Amino acid sequence: MQSPQSGQSLLNLSQLETQLLRQLVLVQGRDATGFAASVLPDGCCISVRSPAAAAFYPLEGWTSRFLRHLHHGYFDPKAVTRPVRPAN
């Protein structure tokens, strides 16, 4: 898998780590479709992506940091609002 910005190859997570990511998303009441994670080639960070956002976390403790961001809505799609017409 290639990182679009850097062109570096990303390393896929193990099946257990992929299941963990999916469970963390589902526990927060969100749809896990489109969430993916990979380890950077140098092994220092993990990249977590969703259709709406992406973030990098140090491998040590990435799950708690990711969960905190997920809880705060960082990975939620932005709401599209329509302009409200003023009342006459």
DSSP annotation of 9 reads B
Cβ–Cβ < 8 Å for 11, 59: no
The whole-model pTM stands at: 0.72
Length of the chain: 88
Q: Which one is predicted more confidently, 43 or 5?
A: 43
Give residue 77's pLDDT.
84
Per-residue CA distances from 56 to 15, 67, 75 (Å): 20, 13, 12
Mean pLDDT of 2-7: 43
Given pLDDT bands bounded at 50, 70 and 90, which one contains residue 43?
confident
